Amino acid sequence: EAGTARLIGTSAEAIGRNAIELLTDAAAYGTMARAVNPFGDGHASDRILAIVKQYFLSQAAG
């Protein structure tokens, strides 16, 4: 739905056909390249670590 992946199966023909399409069709590639990941930006653990670190540093300071 989000356009970040395709379910194409396991056949070599389907894999090859889809790979060639993305390598040769700028519009198809652009659509997938600009799609927004519905599961976030991949940096949640960095943000959680910063919050936890700040919490414990503030507790240690008093």
Q: What is the pLDDT averaged over residues 26-52? A: 91
pLDDT at residue 21 in the model? 96
Pairwise pLDDT comparison (42 vs 19), residue with the higher score: 19
Q: What is the pLDDT averaged over residues 10-32? A: 95
Neighbour tally for 32: CB within 10 Å: 13
- Predicted confidence (pLDDT) at residue 56 exceeds the cutoff of 80: yes
pLDDT at residue 22 in the model? 94
pLDDT at residue 30 in the model? 92
pLDDT at residue 7 in the model? 93
